[in-house]
Amino acid sequence: MSEQRDINKDYLFLTIIGSGSFGKVHKVQSRKDNQIFACKEIDYGKMAEKERKLLVHECNTLKELHHQQIVSYVDRYLDKIHSKIFIVMEYCENGDLARYIKRHKQERSFIAEDKIWSVLVQLLNGLKYCHQDMYPQAGHRVIHRDIKPGNVFLTKDGSVKLGDFGLCRSLNDQSQAATNVGTPLYMPPEILAKQPYSEKADVWSLGCVIYELAALQPPFQATNMDSLKIKVRSGAKPSLPSTYSAQLRQIIDLMLENSQTKRQSVLELIQFPKVQKMQQLMIEKGMPGAPTEFPQQTPPQVSAQVLTKQTPLTIENKVEELKQMFVKKDRETELKEWEERLREKEEELKMRERALRDREERFSR
């Protein structure tokens, strides 16, 4: 973020879409091609140096996330005079799940179960990408930390996208000391208890979102933090309307597991029979948000070591991770080497196949 560019030269500010815990979100229009985007304005003036550095890091992370279930990053601008950062991103015109749920609540209509499974499949695939697939490219895992209905966006074609990715992590660290803490309703017990956490935190929050799509209210509600913590620990939540299947209740319970170790990972949840079935159906019918990627190859050796280690996310660990990233070989070179190794493996396999065929021919002769 060394160069200073004026966002007003490139974008026209149209309206304010809303304000969140960390600043305003504007609807903007590109002066170049009239395309519409959303632009998040963040005031970093009151942030400590450490948090600012993390914010820059998170912006870089955001840039690297390329998945159809993640709101895409377009550009960023730094206004040093007013200590503001503007993040330009894809505009999702159909609003977010919070609005969608509210509408259903007002109309007293249930959300169709298939719709809920489709949202779950899409979010699991988006999270799988962040928790695992993007690792070889970025060299680190990405945990959202703030999954809630207001951060899941609906697009024109009917698919869903996770928004506010990555940003929340550094911003939340800062906000814990400040007054503008986001809603704790979707926070897992480990975060509520200020304990170390992992990507399983996202699984808990996803469980809350899926529960809310069915019940039209969050699973754990309270008027203060202490009673929220007690409710979350007890696991007592109102039962879902009887129209929903036992499988849906079952997968929600797997996600709303108090113990981080017992709570299933995104990869495990993708193996859930109904998720597999829904995924297949979405592919066959070409439904919006149908998964497009196929199982990936094993990531490069250097990365695998850190990936399997469930490092709790604390500022110290993050700084350590960053340090490791800097000393690590250039990622591009690493990937190229990995591709080279794959090519060599393919060649080797082809040669073996040829030899086998030759042998079979000789044998039959």
Quick one: tokens of 294?
């196929």
- 21/310 with CB nearer Mg ion: 21
- The binder of 71, among ligand ADP, Mg ion, none, by C-beta within 5 to 8 A per type, is ligand ADP
Among residues 4, 5, 14, 18, which is the contact residue for ligand ADP, using CB under 6 A? 18
Question: Chain-centre distance of CA 285, in angstroms?
Answer: 25
- The binder of 251, among Mg ion, ligand ADP, none, by C-beta within 5 to 8 A per type, is none
Give the other-Cβ count within 10 Å of 217's Cβ: 14
Catalytic residue (one of 79, 114, 146, 202)? 146
- 16/193 with CB nearer Mg ion: 16
Sites of contact with Mg ion (CB under 5 A): 20, 151, 164
- 16/355 with CB nearer Mg ion: 16
- The binder of 17, among ligand ADP, Mg ion, none, by C-beta within 5 to 8 A per type, is ligand ADP
Amino acid at 259: S
Binning the chain into helix, strand and coil, the percentages to the nearest 5 are: 50, 15, 40
Among residues 96, 190, 202, 334, which is the contact residue for ligand ADP, using CB under 6 A? 96
* Residue 156 counted as an annotated binding residue: no
Among residues 47, 62, 70, 89, which is the contact residue for ligand ADP, using CB under 6 A? 89
The whole-angstrom separation of Cα 170 and Cα 57 is: 9
Sign (positive/negative) of CA torsion 113, 119, 121, 124? Answer: negative
Which are the contacts of 365, defined by CB distance < 8 A and separation ≥ 6? none
Quick one: tokens of 341?
């190794």
Q: Respond yes or no: is residue 157 known to be catalytic.
A: no
- 171/282 with CB nearer Mg ion: 171
Q: How far is the CB of 88 from Mg ion (least distance, A)?
A: 15
Sort 63 into a burial class: Cβ within 10 Å, 0-12 / 13-18 / 19+. middle
Strand, coil or helix: 27: strand
The whole-angstrom separation of Cα 22 and Cα 41 is: 8
Strand, coil or helix: 303: helix
Q: How far is the CB of 151 from Mg ion (least distance, A)?
A: 4
CA distances to 5, 115, 274, 277 from 78, in Å: 7, 39, 45, 46
- 21/137 with CB nearer ligand ADP: 21
Residue 36 sits in the site that holds ligand ADP (CB under 6 A)? no
The whole-angstrom separation of Cα 58 and Cα 166 is: 5
Q: Residues 139 to 178: which contact ligand ADP by CB under 6 A?
A: 150-151, 153, 163-164
Q: How far is the CB of 183 from ligand ADP (least distance, A)?
A: 8
Quick one: tokens of 106?
């007002």
Count of CA atoms in the C-beta half-sphere (13 A) of 30: 12
The whole-angstrom separation of Cα 111 and Cα 104 is: 7
Among residues 77, 91, 220, 244, which is the contact residue for ligand ADP, using CB under 6 A? 91
- The binder of 38, among ligand ADP, Mg ion, none, by C-beta within 5 to 8 A per type, is ligand ADP
Q: How far is the CB of 354 from Mg ion (least distance, A)?
A: 55
- 143/269 with CB nearer Mg ion: 143
Q: How far is the CB of 154 from Mg ion (least distance, A)?
A: 14
Annotation: binding site for ATP: 40
Catalytic residues: 146
- Report the interface residues with ligand ADP, using CB under 6 A: 17-22, 25, 38, 71, 89-92, 96, 150-151, 153, 163-164, 182
